[in-house]
Structure 1
Amino acid sequence: MTDTDDVPEVLFVCVHNAGRSQMAAALLDHHAAGRVRVRSAGSAPAEVINPAVAEAMHELGLDLSREFPKPLTGEAVLAADVVVTMGCGDTCPVFPGKRYLDWRLPDPAGRPVEDVRPIRDEIDTRVRALLAELLDADS
């Protein structure tokens, strides 16, 4: 792992860091309960989180009101054990020894909350599977 405390770190990346990567980060952080360090970033961050995404997450009791889109940096990639791109064709710095995953998911931008819920639920399924892998690898 990247840190002396052996807590794995996951970085979720999408272009605007306003939808998919924010949902994935919030869901993993929630399910991991401190057992995984989680970050998200975008190559061209938006100004704010997608409101339909915030609403869909609020329905699960997860508050994104304090979150904001963050820029992707080489340092964030270097710190991560797993880098998950969200199917948006994002170019990400590649470092040896990192695990890269590409989750091809529809972009929630411009969609109503009714269309965001299935995206959120698919991300939740994938996040839970990733968490199980990470925790199993640590044992």
Structure 2
Amino acid sequence: MTDRPSVLFVCVHNAGRSQMAAAYLAHLGGGAVEVRSAGSAPGDHVNPAAVEAMAEEGIDIAAEQPKVLTTDAVRASDVVITMGCGDTCPIFPGKRYEDWVLDDPAGQGVEAVRPIRDEIRGRVLTLLAELGVGPVGA
């Protein structure tokens, strides 16, 4: 890893879980981690319930747009975290891969998204500790 580790979050639509995880890592990492997110079949927009749930945490993801997963994004990342995208993520030797099993917030209201958001926050804090980065404002 470089002095500034890079993390890629991948889910199918890049509209909920991976967007929330990327936002938390960017927010709590305070710029010490390069953050990317992408989807194997990106949606048209970020899930409104995810936007609302993150706004409750003081994090605005309303302007984010789902992005397509590219081989270059995986290659450029030190850590690749998948969230239900199965085998669609390319594998490169020397990378750290994790699969976070999380409920899919697609089609759910903010009440159902809050526990997913909270679990993601906890996992991001653990990831920061593993990367040797102290969280900002945790």
Any conservation in 2 of the 1:14–1:90 contact (CA below 8 Å)? no
Deviation at 1:90, TM superposition (A): 4.9
User: How far apart are 1:91 and its partner, in Å?
Assistant: 1.5
Taking structure 1 as the reference length, the TM-score comes to 0.93
**Per-residue deviation, residues 85-115 of structure 1 (Å, max 9, x unmatched):** 0134251000000000000000000001000
**More displaced 10-residue stretch of structure 1: 71-80 or 90-99:** 90-99
Matches within 5 A, 1:1-139: 1-2=1-2, 6-135=3-132
Q: What is the alpha-carbon root mean square deviation over aligned residues?
A: 1.0
Q: What percent identity do the matched residue pairs reach?
A: 69
User: What is the DSSP-based 3-state SS (H/G/I as helix, E as strand, rest coil) of the residue aligned with 1:84?
Assistant: strand
* Structure 2: gaps spanning 5 or more residues: 134-138
Unpaired stretches in structure 1, ≥5 consecutive residues: none
Report the AA paired with residue 29 of structure 1.
A
> Contact 1:10 / 1:82 at 8 angstroms: preserved in 2?
yes
CA–CA distance in structure 2, aligned partners of residues 111 and 65 of structure 1: 17
**Count of matched residue positions in the alignment of Structure 1 and Structure 2:** 133
Cα deviations across residues 65-85 of structure 1 (Å, max 9, x unaligned)? 221100000000000000000
The one-letter amino acid paired with 2:118 is D
